[in-house]
A and B are shown apart, each in its own frame.
Chain A
Amino acid sequence: SAVISQKPSRDICQRGTSLTIQCQVDSQVTMMFWYRQQPGQSLTLIATANQGSEATYESGFVIDKFPISRPNLTFSTLTVSNMSPEDSSIYLCSTRGGQGSGTGELFFGEGSRLTVL
């Protein structure tokens, strides 16, 4: 397994501002995944962050709105840019918990709950 820490755990933001969420893993991992969970909804994958390359975004998500950094094998950031109330969600960082882990289960951080006013 992997222990994943996210900061901030929650924040209240003003419309039009941007916020960066940090994700730290306790071991080196190849890929990190960012999910969004809108209120009362399931998880939707935003992007896959592979160290040393540009993040791969899912349909409906773009780099200008959700820029991602992956500077090393234990850390990633997700920025939510130019926020609107529709961006109010829980943002979750996840990983498979160690290089070479091929069985597929993901481990999640506690999430960052953003409320945009």
Chain B
Amino acid sequence: AQSVAQPEDQVNVAEGNPLTVKCTYSVSGNPYLFWYVQYPNRGLQFLLKYITGDNLVKGSYGFEAEFNKSQTSFHLKKPSALVSDSALYFCAVRVFSGGYNKLIFGAGTRLAVHP
């Protein structure tokens, strides 16, 4: 079955330290992978995507993600965390099902950045 997993419910990091939020996937064919962020009482905001090309993709707010085909992973990273980065982060993968391309989402990881 096609799926995406976020193994950590929560990640805690001190402000200024690097952060990583993990994501692994299982899909047939070449994966299209995405990261979204959700702030309290808000909808989802698109951060970045991997379609093809360089394994390191850069996105909004200084975030980047590394695609690793052999490990079927797409971890989200940031070199220096900010308190304002505290939010819920979702990894997603595109699947083709029922005649449409759709996104399925991981369970989400809550990022807490402490001053």
- Contacts of A71-117 to chain B: CB distance below 8 A: 92, 94, 103-111, 113
- Are B102's CB and A45's CB within 8 A? yes
Which of B36, B41, B45, B101 interacts with A104 by CB under 8 Å? Answer: B101
Q: How far apart are the CA atoms of A113 and B43 in the complex, in Å?
A: 10
Give the residue name and chain of the A residue nearest to B44 (CB): A108
- Stretch from B18-26, B67-75, B78-86, B92-100 that touches the partner: B92-100
- Are A43's CB and B102's CB within 8 A? no
Q: How far apart are the CA atoms of A48 and B99 in the complex, in Å?
A: 10
- Are B43's CB and A48's CB within 8 A? no
- Are A111's CB and B98's CB within 8 A? no
Q: How far apart are the CA atoms of A56 and B105 in the complex, in Å?
A: 18
- Are B98's CB and A48's CB within 8 A? yes
Chain B residues with CB below 8 A from A41, complex form:
107-108
CB proximity of B60 to chain A, nearest CB, Å: 11
Give the residue name and chain of the A residue nearest to B4 (CB): A42
- Are B98's CB and A56's CB within 8 A? yes
- Are A42's CB and B34's CB within 8 A? no
Give the residue name and chain of the B residue nearest to A6 (CB): B43
CB proximity of A114 to chain B, nearest CB, Å: 14
- Are A105's CB and B34's CB within 8 A? yes
Q: How far apart are the CA atoms of A106 and B98 in the complex, in Å?
A: 18
Asked if A33 lies at the interface with its beta carbon under 8 angstroms from chain B, I say yes
CB proximity of A31 to chain B, nearest CB, Å: 7
Which of A45, A92, A104 interacts with B34 by CB under 8 Å? Answer: A104
CB proximity of A46 to chain B, nearest CB, Å: 11
Give the residue name and chain of the A residue nearest to B33 (CB): A104
Which chain A residues have a beta carbon within 8 Å of chain B's beta carbons? 1, 4, 31, 33, 41-43, 45, 48, 50, 56, 58, 92, 94, 103-111, 113
State the 10 A-B residue pairs at the shortest beta-carbon distance, nearest first. Answer: A108-B43, A108-B44, A110-B43, A43-B105, A104-B94, A42-B107, A42-B105, A111-B43, A104-B32, A48-B100
